Structures are given as C-alpha cells and as structure tokens.
Amino acid sequence: MNNFEFCNPVKVVFGKGSIARLSTLIPEGSKILMLYGGGSIKKNGIHTQVSEALKDYPLTEFSGIEANPHYDTCMKAVELARRKKTDFLLAVGGGSVIDATKFIAAAICFKGDPWDIPAKNAPVERAMPLGVVLTLSATGSETNERAVISNISEGQKLGFATPAVFPAFAVMDPEATYSLPAAQVANGVVDSFIHVIEQYLTYPVDAKVQDAFAESLMRIIREEGPRALKDPLDYNIRANLMWAATNALNGWIGQGVPQDWSSHRIGYPLTVQFGLAHAETLAVILPGVMQYMQKEKQEKILRLGAAVFDITEGSTKERVEKTIDAVELFFRDMGLKTRLHEYGIKETDLDALTSPIDRLGWKLSEKGHIGTKAAREILLLRL
Ligand code: NZQ
Ligand code: ZN
C-alpha cells in the first residue's frame, strides 16, 4: 500500500426528513444564497422543504445552473453573492449544482481570473463556506473537494480540487431522488460504478481494505441499480445507492492506491462537443480503456470478474474478455448506449475529440501513458 494523508471533514446528515435539519447546520443569522438548477426542486417539493427549514434566515435564490455547469452562469452567481453580501452558499441539486457552488465559493474569494482555478491549477487559499442538499446520487460531489466546470466560449470542460471547497455538510434524503427520470437514475448508477473502477482497476498494491471495500461497493451498485429502475419508490434501494455513490468518491477507497481516471478525462470533450451526459461518455469509453489496457490491468480485471460478476471459469484470456463484456452489458442493461456510432460519432470526429489531451499536457491512466494518440486508439475500439 502507498503512503497517504487523508481527511474528509464533511458532516453527513442522512435519511428521511433530514432536510428539516438544515437550520441546525448553518450558523444562525447567515445570509444564505441558495443555488439550484432548472427547476426540478420546485416540482418535487424539495424547494418547499428547504424554504420551510430556512424560514428564519435571510435567503436569496439563484436558479438556472445547467447540467455540466457553465462558467458564465457561475460568474453571475458570484456577482449576486457579492451584491447581497452572502456569507453561506447552499447547493440544492445534483453534481452540477454542487460543483457550480464549489466553484462560486472559490471564485468569490479569488483574486484574479477565476477560470485560472481549473485552467491553470491556480491555488485556492480560501472559499466561502457551503453546504449541500443532495437530490441525485451519482458524483459523490456532496462529500468531496472536486468540481468540474465547462467554459463554453473556450470549448473546455475542466476540473479542479482543493480542500477549501469541501462542503461543511451534506444533507442526503433518499426520498429526494424519487422524482428522478429513469435515465438520470441510470446515469447515476453508471457514474458511481465507474468512480469505483477508476480507483480500483489499476494494478495491485496489496491494499486489502480498499480493494474489498471497492468490490463490495461495485457489487451493491450492480445489484441495486437495475432494481431502482424496476422499483423506483423503494426507499432502501434508493438509500443503498445513495450511500454507495457517496462512498465511491468521498476519498476512502482511493487512499494509498494507484488511480486511473482516463475514462473521465477522455469523456470531457464528448460532453463539450457532442452533448453527451457525463455518465454516457463513461459507458462508451470505459470498456475501451479496459480492452486497451488489458495487459496492464489484467490482475485487477480478473479480481473484478470474480468478485462482482461471478466470472471464475475459463482461461485468463477468456475471463478477461468475459469481464469486459459483463461490464458493457451492465451499462446496456441500465439503458445506456455503449458505442460512439449510437451517438452519430464517426472516425472523422476522433481527432477533434482527442487533441485536447496533449494540448492540456494530460498524461492519463495509472501508468501516465495515455495521450492523444492512445486515446484515439481507445475511441477507435468504441466506434
Ligand atoms: O436542473 P434540474 O432541474 O434540477 O434537473 C437536474 C438535471 O437536469 C435533474 N435532477 C437532479 N435532481 C433531480 C432531478 N430531476 C428530478 N428529480 C431530482 N431529484 O437531473 C439532471 C442532471 O443533473 P446533474 O446535476 O447534471 O447530474 P449529476 O449529478 O450526474 O452531475 C453531473 C456533473 O457532475 C460532474 C460531471 O462532470 C457533470 O458536470 N462530476 C463531478 C464530480 C465531482 N465533483 O466529484 C465527479 C464526477 O465524475 C463528475 O465529473
Ligand atoms: Zn464521474
């Protein structure tokens, strides 16, 4: 196991009725800016629950944060927060609203051009405190220090990570996810599964706790995911998926182990250039990364096959192939497409999709050997 230092300071308040606990979590008298997306929280009653819980606070609202949140939208919220002398930000939504709120929290306190935070890795010394009411389990953003922002005029989607944007708390009521359309449930299941994979499917370093934890999370996500589609109002299924997605990316399983993240990074241009949802990019790319790196990842692919998909029979080569097929089939069972042509993407599109990787100086995978050329080969496998 590799050395590590780790602290996750996010307080989790989990369960039915937990939104009512908000007033115990935000310092009295705080001037709150509540941020949300395109309006789902107005239809499903979450907006009413939050407003009721915070009726004694001065509250301003900022709505319209889009999926894959835009830098320009975030900067409008920064301006509003400054004008209203906000001192606490409350994100009510999924990964996009949470990520936007993290960026806004950092941008408010940042001297200089805030786009430098993701684009130039500019250090973030301070950020405004923020809290989260989660409405979609997928990204794990509710308990981590990461965010991904899209800059439409630059044609870029970029991430950043800094402890300054850890939320102070995450309120997680599984009932808040009942109103999700099936496609968003499926996206969340696939995204959280692949978060585990990106931290697990590398090479072994004898990290027994992390490996066993990761395998149990994948098994749970794989079992509960299809059940959530069949039985959308089952509380325990939603609760288990929500907690699994949080644990998939709250830092615990990734300590002391090599990590990959190439499927995520190769996927960003697919969102920017072709509008695929985040999880849709991953469902296409991950089986290609597994195939392309099957030698380097062989030991972990075999473990994954046995522990999560019960693949124990056949030669090494057969078990590796069966496992890659089983992963792709799981995504298809969840209703996601797994091939580029299904999105109308052709071989002639691949150069534009992969050229950002070298331009940004990214050396992807746990081996650091995937640049533009290798990413193109991976996408070629996925046409
Ligand atoms: O905008 P509204 O109207 O709220 O609708 C949203 C949005 O259209 C809807 N939704 C959310 N909760 C709902 C609901 N609809 C009905 N009922 C509810 N309870 O769902 C749609 C998608 O929401 P979004 O927040 O975009 O989804 P997700 O949570 O998958 O977040 C995706 C974003 O997170 C980033 C992705 O790149 C993408 O930008 N990621 C962030 C990570 C992190 N911070 O650690 C890691 C991830 O790998 C990922 O990159
Ligand atoms: Zn993801």
Question: Mutate which of 10, 99, 252 to test ligand 1's pocket (most atoms within 8 Å of Cβ)?
Answer: 99
**Residues of the chain scoring pLDDT < 70:** none
- The residue whose CA is least distant from atom 22 of ligand 1 is 67
270-295, pLDDT tens digit by residue? 999 999 999 999 999 999 999 999 99
Q: Write down the pLDDT at residue 10.
A: 98
- Cα–Cα distance measured from residue 263 to residue 378, given in angstroms and rounded to the nearest whole number: 10
**pLDDT at site 8:** 98
Query: Which atom of ligand 1 lies at the shortest distance from residue 191's CA?
Result: 48
Rounded Cα distance between 280 and 122, Å, is 30
- Nearest-CA residue for ligand 1 atom 36 is 278
Q: Please name the residue that has the structure tokens 């999926």.
A: 67
- Distance from C-alpha of 177 to C-alpha of 180, rounded to nearest angstrom: 6
Q: How far is CA 145 from the centre of its chain?
A: 11
Distance CA 355, CA 272 (A): 13
What does the alpha-carbon distance between residue 270 and residue 365 come to, in Å, rounded to a whole number?
18
Q: Which residues does ligand 1 sit against, CB inside 6 Å?
A: 37-41, 44, 67-68, 93-97, 99, 135-136, 138-141, 144, 146-148, 176-177, 179-180, 184, 187-188, 191, 249, 264, 278
In the structure encoding, which two tokens stand for residue 197, read together?
A: 């994979």
Share the mean pLDDT of the chain: 98
User: How many of the other CB atoms lie within 10 Å of CB of 373?
Assistant: 10
Cα-to-centroid distance, 249 and ligand 2 (Å): 9
Q: How far apart are the C-alpha atoms of 259 and 196, rounded to whole Å?
A: 10
How many CA atoms within 13 Å lie on the side-chain side of 111? Answer: 1
Q: Is 380 exposed, middle or buried (0-12, 13-18, 19+ CB in 10 A)?
A: middle
**Domains of the chain listed by start with CATH number:** 11-176 (3.40.50.1970), 182-381 (1.20.1090.10)
Q: Give the pLDDT score at 191.
A: 98
| Residue 60 β-bridge partners | 33
Neighbours of 53 (CB within 10 A): 20
**Of 65, 139, 336, which is best to mutate to test ligand 1, by the most ligand atoms within 8 angstroms of its C-beta?**
139
Q: Say what the pTM is.
A: 0.98
**Residue 187 Cα: closest atom of ligand 1:** 30
